Structure 1
Amino acid sequence: MKKTIKALKLPVVFIFIFSSFIACDKDFSVLESDVLGDKNLNFETDTTSFQIAAYNKILDSVQINGLSSNLLGVYNDPAYGQTIASIITQITPTTNSPDFGDNPVIDSVILTIPYFNRITGADNDGNATYTILDSLYGKKPNEDIKPFKLTIYQNNYFLRDFDPSGSLDQKQNYYSKANRSINATDNFALNGTSVINFDEQKGAIMFENTITPSSNPTKTITNKGTADAVTTLSVPALRKNLDIAFWKAAILDKEGDAVLSSASNFKNYFRGLYFKAEAVSGNGSMVLLNLASTNANITIYYSKDSTVANERTQASYVLRFTGNILNTFINDYSSVPLQDGNQITGDEKLYLKGAEGSMAVVDLFSGDNALKEFLDTYRTPLGNGDYKKDSNGNYILKRLINDAQLIVFEDETLQDGGIADLHKYDRLYAYDIENNIQLIDYDYDPTLSSTDPYNSAFFHLGQRKKNDAGISKYKIHLTEHLNNILLRDSTNTKIGLVLSSNVNQINSAKILNSVDEVTSIPATSIITPRGTILHGTSSTVPNNRKMKLKIFFTEPK
């Protein structure tokens, strides 16, 4: 008999765990007494919900340096309007104090910055094929990718590493100013004490033309025009020829000068590049660039005299995108009333928009007595207004939370611009606004995947699903977050909601001179240009659309 009982343990545990995963996408189901019989049950299961308030928070002056990737181009969001993203970046030579040889002559100067891409297969010759559509914004089905204008200037503004007004070794942060309050054409940033207009700091032009991002592999030909010519295919990239005369004067003619002797000297001498994007007839596309890639560089190809008479030797000089990199934005959100919301009742609609837009704050226990009611309902009382604790100092519960879900409905009137799956891959990212970190449920999520961001953390953060009525909704599981409040008296009763294109990116970006509880936001929301609109919690929202916190619990009889 003992052997039989032991053999049953593993399947029972497995079934319990498997059932908890099913609850991720299905409404929680209570096992009725038909399984064990009423007389054999010594616990009851049920659901309850608590009063919450979700309200809007406008985002401005957000940190735009130190991002994991960078946007470039023009995106017209069907619901919000236009965002234009440009880049200001420092560059650093890979070789200090170079010797360019005798009679150096530049053959070409090539800019290469890979797009974020995914391998889709192989062609008939066995070469990899790619797509950049996962990181391209603005393309409609059955339509060509729209071009945008790109001008690359020398940047004359010095991007310092340390903040002179801060403490010792405090890094300098740069913040967005994207609301067009000064003008609608220039790119601005804030450094904490002043406004920087990069269009007033631009130098010589080294490239100017329209750009159309493509999934085609990058083709490189060495020994071109000879019998030894070799063609190499690599990942899709922004790859352009730059002005030769500019780089001759800026680099080759400085051989032996101290400006090429160290990275710090070079950054003070050559202060970087300004990639300015502009719309073409009001339109364009936007793409995510990987400037951190080892293949992202500017390469000067040149020839020099050989030790063999009447022959030339080929050589190259490489500069990489290291140091400060800023993503500036110009936003036109005139079609959407972005404003801070009502913290008491919550708002009717919640506007989640990246690239210096808007987020939502969710107060899980809104009202004077809501948190106390929650604690009284789940903790074991002592009778003196306090609650019983165990030997470890954790509160003893009279109800056990099996699952807690924040259920969020998308506004069914959200404009999609005729792209049926525009919001198909949207993810909501929830974070602890007090500590500016991911919620504890994120760390416990067994579905975290570093290689598949869309399917990563789908147990905690859920994925956009349509119910039987065709209404899109999200389920965000907050079980451990609530248990932290109950067991360890955590005060993190408010969470932030942002739109994210990659929930694996959990680093935060600061807000300059914040005057409320939101002092930082997940950096991933800054490089997510799309926006969505959700139903909130105000009394004007229909009950079947209102955001709610639903708790499934077990209570001993």
Structure 2
Amino acid sequence: MMNIPFFKKLTVVLAVVLFASCDKDFNSVGSDIVGNENFDLEHQTFATKVYNQKIQAIQTNNTAIGQLGILDNPVFGKTKADFVAQLILLDEAPEFKSNIVVDSVILTVPYFSTKTEIKSNGLGIYELDSIHGSGSINLQVLRNGFTLNEFDPGNNFETAQKYYSDQQADFDNNIVGSALNNSSLAAENTAFLPSEKEYVKYKVDASFNMMPKIAANVEARNSPRMRLHLDTNYFKTNIIDAPADKLINNNAFKSYFKGLYFKVTDAPAGSLMSLDFSKGDVTIYYKQDITVTTGPPSSSREMKNLVLSMATGIKINLLKDTDSPDYTAAFTAPNQQNFDAKKLFVKGGQGSNAFIELFTPAQLTELKAQNVLVNEASLTFTVDSSLPNNYSHPLRLYLYDAETGQFLYDYAADPSTVTSNPKLNKYVYGGILEKTAAGKRTYKIRITGFVDRILKGKTDNVRLGLVVTESIGAINSMSLKTPSAAPSSTDNTKTQKAIPAGSVMSHFGTVLYGNGNSAADDVKFEIYYTKPN
């Protein structure tokens, strides 16, 4: 566990080191101040313009993490998430012998988990991560019949193809056959529920029968994972017995077998999983005759497997939201229309982000005229205290240049890492959920370098975007299907065209105080600076 007092001290030290070393102008001015009594250290809090923006259909293909399931959020409403995954042959042009019998077809996708204990018998005890809700879901694994392209045929295949969160109809209308996870086990289809149990694989004997389940016969221990039995006859007919030219290479295979469609039946409640589908696969285990070429002529049987991997194929998240009345009303409230929202609703996926406008022209002119040196600048957001006590808050928020979609200077200049938990990387830049001594939950983001560069004329005073993020490293932009109107307080023609990928991958959301609440709770834009006296 991280030592919090040490963590905070280290953050302060690193902040000073970072911005003293990464900005030559900062460093030179700072050196002139040391020992000079003609400078005063001052602190000032500035008012900001803050408001909400709803996100409509968003590009979801090839994000690092996908969502699957149903989540009924008490604040934002219900989200249903389906998933499409293209498959590839790990071994192209497989060669099969005679008298093949498919023993089993197993689909696996590992959960995010942490091993917390090892029992005396070697059994691992795990704690699952990124699983929310406690109800089961009705899950179907179907064969997809909708063609997936790496490059856009509408643009002469010159640009990458984009797929969006609202394309359910394309896949619903192109399902091939019936559900492949047709096991008699309800826990694998109509009543699917993630399990935290370790999967233990046991050895088999010469007749391919599983050996007794004792420690001596353990072949492998695997972390918890989605593990579904798929239709053996279907895969025998459509893969093992497929014409050889359909399996000759992955281009031919992807055109023939277009992948899997993980579809969840809508329901009032359930559970929702965040999964790294790139670690998933479908493995076909089969027996075949093998001819013995040495000694007297004879034949015997061997067990083989064929792996269909999800590692590099196209992957698409399909999202359907039923927003709550309060969430819907947030985008039409009077103070929202005046760019002065009382509450900020930030939600991942096909959710919403917030905009923040910092300096007015008059404030900027005054600070520049005073020739100030920025020692620290930050934005602090306080979580709405009326949220339920058991509410799952996102671990992290991400602040970026809303006009270009690019990261801020402070993000780029922060090399801090936490090896044991990469979600806490760039902790000097911040945006990590904290609890104050008064019991309030806050997110503080440092923008010292960004503000300093504004005052030096190196960076424009741009509007900032605030989103929930699943991964602080996932900052590439994901396109909106249709750019949405996103006017600022100074320009009503502005639009929003993209959202950071880390937000698309998240199903979390939170409500923050904006402006017009109390001085202690409102968005706090603070600057500590030095100026000549």
Q: Name the TM tier (shorter chain).
A: 0.7 to 0.9
Which residue of 90, 115, 118 maps to 1:119? Answer: 115
Give 2:155's aligned residue: 166
Instruction: Identify which of 43, 46, 66 aligns with 1:47.
Output: 43
Q: CA deviation at 1:116?
A: 1.6
2:274 is matched with: 288
Give the fraction of aligned pairs with identical amino acids, expressed as a percent.
Answer: 30
Amino acid in the other structure paired with 1:254: A
> Closer, same or farther in 2 for the Cα pair 1:40/1:155, shift >3 Å?
closer
State the Cα deviation string for residues 498-542 of structure 1 (Å, max 9, x = none): 1123323222211123144422111111221121111112xx423
Shift in CA distance, 112/44, structure 1 to aligned 2, threshold 3 Å: same
Paired letter, 1:547: V
Q: Which amino acid aligns with 1:521?
A: I
| CA distance in structure 2 between the partners assigned to 1:226 and 1:16 by the alignment | 54
User: CA–CA distance in 1 between the matches of 2:46 and 2:346?
Assistant: 23
2:197 to 216, 219, 232: 216
> Where does residue 534 of structure 1 map in the other structure?
512
109-118 or 498-507, which deviates more = 498-507
Answering whether residue 238 of structure 2 is matched by residue 250 of structure 1, we say yes
Q: 2:246 aligns with which of 256, 259, 262?
A: 259
Q: Distance in 1 between matches of 2:10 and 2:89?
A: 58
**Displacement, 1:329?**
1.1
Residue 545 (structure 1) aligned to one of 521, 524, 529:
521
Corresponding residue of 1:441: 410
Question: Residue 299 of structure 1 aligns with which residue?
Answer: 283
The residue type paired with residue 220 of structure 1 is: K
SS in 1 for 2:432: coil
Query: Partners in 2 of 1:533 and 1:206 — Cα distance?
Result: 40
State the Cα distance separating 1:474 from its structure 2 match: 1.8
State the match for 2:387 in structure 1: 414
2:6 aligns with none
Deviation at 1:340, TM superposition (A): 4.2
Which of 525, 539, 549 is equivalent to 2:503?
A: 525
Distance 1:377 1:305 in 2: 83
Aligned counterparts of 1:40 and 1:252: Cα–Cα separation in 2: 81
Asked if the contact 2:76–2:327 (Cα under 8 Å) also holds between the matched residues in 1, the reply is no
Aligned residue pair count? 474
Provide Cα deviations, 1:467-510, integer angstroms capped at 9, x if missing partner: 34332222111111112212243125211111123323222211
Contact 1:149/1:277, CA 8 A, preserved across alignment: yes
RMSD: 2.5
The residue aligned with 1:206 is: 180
Kindly indicate which of the two structures has a greater share of residues assigned to helix.
2
Q: Which residue of 2 aligns with 1:181?
A: none
Instruction: Give the 3-state SS of the residue equivalent to 2:430 in structure 1.
Output: coil
User: What do residues 133-165 of structure 1 show as CA deviations (whole Å, max 9, x unaligned)?
Assistant: x21112xxxxxx421111011111111121122
Equivalent in 303, 309, 312 of residue 320 of structure 1 = 309
Partner of 1:335: 325
- Structure 1: how far apart are the matches of 2:11 and 2:137? 53
Q: Which runs of 5+ in 2 are unaligned?
A: 1-8, 18-34, 183-188, 293-297, 485-493
Residue 60 of structure 2 aligns to a residue whose secondary structure is coil
Report what 1:9 is aligned to. none
What TM-score comes out, normalization by structure 1 length? 0.79
- Structure 2 residue 344 is the aligned partner of structure 1 residue 350: yes
Is the contact between residue 11 and residue 427 of structure 2 (CA under 8 Å) also seen in structure 1? no
CA deviation digits over 1:334-363, x for unaligned, max 9? 333336464643211111111201110111
Structure 1 residue runs without a partner (length 5+):
1-13, 23-38, 139-144, 178-187, 190-195, 381-397
Name the CA distance, whole Å, in 1 between partners of 2:10 and 2:101.
Answer: 71
Q: How does 1:112-511 map to 2 (within 5 A)?
A: 112-132=108-128, 134-138=129-133, 145-166=134-155, 168-177=157-166, 188-189=167-168, 196-204=169-177, 205-208=179-182, 209=189, 210-223=191-204, 224-226=209-211, 229-256=217-244, 258-278=245-265, 282-293=268-279, 296-308=280-292, 309=298, 311-321=300-310, 322-338=312-328, 340=331, 342=336, 344-365=338-359, 370-379=360-369, 398-416=371-389, 419=390, 422-423=392-393, 426-449=395-418, 451-511=420-480
Partner letter of residue 251 of structure 1?
A: I
2:32 is aligned to none
**Structure 1 pair 16–505 and aligned structure 2 pair: CA distance change class (3 A):** closer
- Give me the whole-angstrom Cα distance separating, in 2, the residues matched to 1:440 and 1:15: 20
